[in-house]
Structure 1
Amino acid sequence: MKKEYTNQTAVSYFLLDRLMYTAEYPSLFFFLLFLIYSITVTGNILILLTVGIDQHLSSPMYHFLGHLSFLDACLSTVTVPKVMAGLLTLDDRVISFKGCAVQLYCFHFLASTECFLYTVMAYDRYLAICQPLRYPVAMSRQMCVRLAGLPWVTGAAHSAVHTSLTFRLHYCGPHHIAYFFCDIPPVLKLACSDTSLNELVVLVNIGVVAGGCLALIIMSYVFIVAAVLRIRTAEGRRRAFSTCSSHLTVVLLYYVPPVCIYLQPRSSGPGAGAPAVFYAMVTPMLNPFIYTLRNKEVKRALSRLLCPGSREPPAGSPPL
């Protein structure tokens, strides 16, 4: 419960915190973040170009992978450049009130869209492995486009609700956000209004939206595992598990850190932002490597894109 403050001037800007342990060696951490950001953007753009150009990657799974790569590149761009700039000067850690609202909206728009997209990708794998004969009809090109667009529309609406609820509150000081970007829990701590409704919405969001998506993903993979175990050949089981393990890995990397943050909306201290560093910076960097290293079709396509004159052995049958 927050005490209402009247006769107080509304804030026009916020001061973002530095990342933990970066104050003593800002130049070193600037270089490290620049390296992470460069790898993230380059890797995801390469995957996006490969999926868009290579005709061998025309299945719905790779269509969704292209959307995921675009989301990861944008998600990193929303936070990392501002953090890098804040390592160099104090002025670059200042963000306007409207800028904070825009950053919060964009971050949650991209993050929630990615959450819904993982669910769609799990459904795609379920159809491909559990109902292979029905798959070409059920996952037609038109249906694939609709399923890819649904997370974007839902994510936009989902983020709009959170952003409007957060910035309808009155902020009269202090200005210091104990976080490296504008996110819901640290911003709510600065509100001069009652935040009970906001904190309830955050908990419901985790329980219903994120929890519901995770439950659907787990349910899909229960059926997938049962279907894979019924495959007679060891090679068939290996290919099926290899295709699905990439998706399961990135799902775990995506879900665990946000749960640590949003189930504790009042958490504070220098380590409070550590989980956010992982899913805002590290996970978008790792996703291209996870999908590339565990998918032979993507590796072949990347080879054709980067070395168009090279010869390679003929590709096998498309992945399940």
Structure 2
Amino acid sequence: MAYVGRFAPSPTGPLHFGSLITAVASYCDAHAHQGKWLVRIEDTDIPRIYPGSEDHILRCIDAFQFEADDAIIFQKDRLDLYDAVIDQLHKNHLVYACQCTRKMLGSNHIYAGTCRDLNLPFEHHAIRVKVSDREICFNDRLQGTHCSNLQQDLGDFVLKRRDGIINYQLAVVVDDYLQGMTHVVRGADLLDNTERQIWLGSILGYPKLEYMHLPLAMNDQGQKLSKQNMAQALDLNRAPELLQQAIRALHQPEVDLDTPAHMLRQAIAQWDIQHIPHTKELEGSYL
């Protein structure tokens, strides 16, 4: 099967160095396998979109000279597709409406199925998917075997919030299928989402994917680089230097400091995931 991978940032803030590591790894891994690399903006959580961040993502792709192999898609333009999948799941009795609020649930992070058999109307309620009491395992290309029993570890989880916002878990599964993804390369902070996505894909009849969860870049306080932790936005005037740093962070062979396009070609030719630390965090601190 031909390799199709992707870079799928959320515009809740500008891209930072951790984002660049993911972009480089996904790009190099796709092209080292003579595959395609797509870009998707995961912006279903419309209230959390940070002003100007979508534009910053697009400018970063240009500045670092990444070349997407198809048109960039925006999830907020595809809400009807996700609603259609929820309707499909509803017809197959795999989802239900839930009236429970965070206040009602309190500190209990495992949903007990309180509303499973209440047959509430879908309007003005959250929509949850039913999970089964069985272990789901996958073999991550870097992190090894990872397992979860969703019923015991999480419970039925939300696909659509009561305010109408489509949950990330549903949108990513649907779009990975519709875009023909075969491989997912992303940060280890998303590792625990994977069993949920595998479960959704299985009940929808979607093909299985290969996963690789990258070790996270950390700041000098030992926190992962993130928008919440005020990670610095990528400086587009320093694209070659930052690209070289990202390639080094992935423990890949050195590349010449040149145009980003030349550096990426060199990185692809030398790409070897065995050099990437098989850990959840990178050693050292990054801006």
Tell me if both proteins adopt one fold, taking TM over 0.5 as the criterion. no
Q: TM-score, normalised by structure 2?
A: 0.29
Q: TM-score, normalised by structure 1?
A: 0.27
Looking at CA atoms only, which structure, 1 or 2, has the larger radius of gyration?
1
Q: Of Structure 1 and Structure 2, which has the larger fraction of its residues in strand?
A: 2
Q: Of Structure 1 and Structure 2, which has the larger fraction of its residues in helix?
A: 1
Of structures 1 and 2, the one with the larger relative CO (CA 8 A, separation 6+) is: 1
